Amino acid sequence: MLSLTNKHVLLGITGGIAAYKSADLARQFVKAGAEVRVVMTRAATEFITPLTLQALSGNQVHLELLDADAEAGMGHIELARWADLVVVAPATADFLARATQSHADDLLTTLILATPAIVAIAPAMNQGMWSDLGVQKNVEALKKRGYHLLGPAQGEQACGDVGLGRMLEPQDILQHCADMFETGLLAGKHVMITGGPTREAIDPVRYISNHSSGKMAYALAEQAYAAGAKVTLVSGPVALATPQGVTRIDVTSAREMLAAVMENIASVDVFVGVAAVADYRPEKIAIAKIKKHEDALELRLVKNPDIIREVAQRNPRPFVVGFAAETESIVENGQKKLEDKKLDLLFANEATGTFNSDSIAVTAISASGQVALTPGSKTSLARRMVELIAHQISTGKES
């Protein structure tokens, strides 16, 4: 279940007797390393209490569409962007019908419309209801939307009937959800990712750097590994744990990062430059701490190596992916960077407000055109970035 570690799982519970299983499902998601938030319909609270789910998930349970405590009162949008995975379990026949018709009259149906995350639905109802032609029509419509239908299972039901309609057991739902993140899209590939900032020393206690939490690079490393790749992460100084299965090389300066990259680049199939590399460094590093003797201090700066450009100029070279954090003309500047550095793919984003944030919005730019990725968590965006990278490689659409 390593693929669920650090994932944001939104568990939706509707009003069916199988709601008692949702308590165990929430517990198992937490045990698998996921962060869980629960959304309950009003009918669901008749079968199991919000307090139970709050205790098991460790987070406040969400009930209302309009939340006065949420930013701008838009709790459904915040939750929709937060989630990497939305699981509705149990999903009643009524919920299936309302989801099919794109209803947005409660929190759960509204956030499903708004989320860029994977959506999985675990139906639970009487066997006669499940076999109804209208229900089956709704199920097929939801599948065509790309929703994952999990179950139902066959067996004895609360009403005494026997047949299809039981909600899958929590362990089975958990396994299906874990499998959704293990795509195999990059199986057999060696992916190298640079992440975090670099620090360029001024003296023994001071340095020049760029804003970067490293969260985007680490999310990409995690998703590339889940997609079957061997992953090497060359990281500047960040306060993040190494993703499971990823080989991490710690560096400090731009020149150290370049050396680590070039030392390992020969076996790399995909290079993703996410690091916020300092463009300049002090020409000379003071041996001792510089004292504040004067009102002004002059430093002569020299250019740092352009790591991603050097990788892109290699022959043979890997598939090269860049990032551009811009404060203006986001797409235009990203397009220029793609062409100037001869990259295969580039993700451009607005820099202001994304540092240390868990969410982001980006535009993918390549020779094939542009694709805007809906705002979401960095983990969910990383998964979609990996899908785009794999698609570009498989179709040979390289610039």
**Catalytic, out of 159, 162, 187, 371:** 159
Q: In angstroms, rounded to a whole number, what is the distance separating the alpha carbons of residues 44 and 40?
A: 6
Cβ contacts of residue 189 below 8 Å, gap of 6+? Answer: 228, 229, 230, 269, 270, 393
Amino acid (one-letter) located at 260: A
Q: In angstroms, rounded to a whole number, what is the distance separating the alpha carbons of residues 123 and 93?
A: 8
Q: At 78, list the tokens.
A: 């915040």
Return the number of other C-beta atoms located less than 10 Å from residue 215's C-beta: 24
Alpha-carbon distances, residue 169 vs 89, 182, 195, 262 (angstroms)? 10, 21, 39, 49
Q: In angstroms, rounded to a whole number, what is the distance separating the alpha carbons of residues 66 and 76?
A: 8
DSSP H or E segment with residue 394: helix 378-395
Alpha-carbon distances, residue 111 vs 76, 81, 177, 201, 362 (angstroms)? 5, 9, 19, 47, 21
Cβ contacts of residue 340 below 8 Å, gap of 6+? Answer: none
DSSP H or E segment with residue 323: strand 319-326
DSSP H or E segment with residue 257: helix 254-264
- Is 177 among the catalytic positions? no
Question: What's the full length of the chain, in residues?
Answer: 399
Q: In angstroms, rounded to a whole number, what is the distance separating the alpha carbons of residues 120 and 118?
A: 7
Cβ contacts of residue 207 below 8 Å, gap of 6+? Answer: 199, 200, 201
Catalytic residues: 159
